[in-house]
Chain A
Amino acid sequence: MARAFLGEMELLILLAVTRLGDDAYGVPIARELLNLAGRDVAVGSIYAALDRLEQKNFVTSALGEPTAARGGRAKRYFHVTPSGLRAIIGTRAALTRMWNGIALPEGAGL
């Protein structure tokens, strides 16, 4: 099977979905990205990334019940699949290997 790679935004969204567990839909995912990663991402961009992740079989989605607070629209809940989890772990391992041995200059602003 060909290896599927994660872009930065895809990785952040996968992590947000993993963190949120059963409550992972558009609004909380956007909130997690803003609060934890400092990224103010358009909701449409989040869905575009989630669609790509679903095509790669890294997440699955299911519609909830429509609610009046959302103008009668349902929430679309996302779950990370085992292959999605493997992709996250693989990306973290690759990043850790790449970071090993890098000495940042003093005052790099980090």
Chain B
Amino acid sequence: MNERKPPRLAIWTLQHGLLRDNEALTGDLIERFKSGQSPVWFWKQVYIAVLLGLWTEIRRHWPHFAYAFAGITFPQLFWKAVDGLPGALHWWALPWPWSQIALEVIRKLAFALMALPVLAVGLTIRREFDWRALFRTALLNLTLITMYKYLLDYLLDVPGLSHQVNSHLVAFTFPSVFLVAVPFCSFLVSAWMGCRSLTPPIRRRA
């Protein structure tokens, strides 16, 4: 038997590269590698497989991606309406803890809920609509967005600096792409986990 070993990192990449069925594919690549293919060939196969796996995931979960896209776009479009929500609720007149909740949570809740109709429409088109999935997604997203906002505040709320200076510091420290990518991922992960259903395993041959 040929004892050539395929590149370890390539195997690891394949196993963690978003592919659903990677056992058979990994086995096929190892079999062909042991029959004489080069490490470059192996890496090329892994690269193609991972890209295809990613594309398959996007196609398979397109409502989630649409939801994430809407999630980062809608707040820009309806910023003024959302920003005025705590004021519209007269948060200062509410008893504690409702005043705090109205001030701190209501905007994040609005952001988390705003794009939910897009996900609902997507799931309906795919005949996968489920109220529980929407509820789980909204709850997860609210948690992730809140964590992200507070983490950002915690990291960059430098004592002794004004709010304006801190805002500039955020813009200087984190590139815009990061400030978009993190909320996008937050929406995506929430939808992914919230709408997750168990796919039937591939049966073994008798």
Contact = CB atoms under 8 A, between A and B. Distances in A.
Name the prevailing secondary structure of the B interface residues.
helix
B149 interface: no
A73 B49 contact: no
Interface string B103-132: 000000000000000000000000000000
Interface residues of A, number: 27
A71 B27 contact: yes
A89 interface: no
B204 A64 contact: yes
Nearest to A73: B27
Contact of B202 (A48, A61, A65, A71): A61
Interface string A30-74: 100000000000111101100100000000011111111111011
Contacts of B24: 25-26, 47, 63, 73-76
A69 B31 contact: yes
B26 A73 contact: yes
Nearest to A71: B30
Contacts of A70: 27-28, 30-31
A30 B26 CA distance: 14
A43 B34 contact: no
A74 B23 contact: yes
A106 to B, nearest CB: 40
Interface of A: 25-27, 30, 42-45, 47-48, 51, 61-71, 73-77
9 contacts: A42-B44, A43-B25, A44-B48, A45-B52, A63-B202, A63-B203, A67-B27, A71-B6, A73-B30
Given A27-B28, A64-B204, 15 more contacts: A30-B32, A42-B44, A42-B48, A43-B28, A44-B52, A47-B25, A47-B52, A48-B52, A51-B21, A63-B202, A68-B1, A69-B30, A71-B6, A73-B24, A75-B24
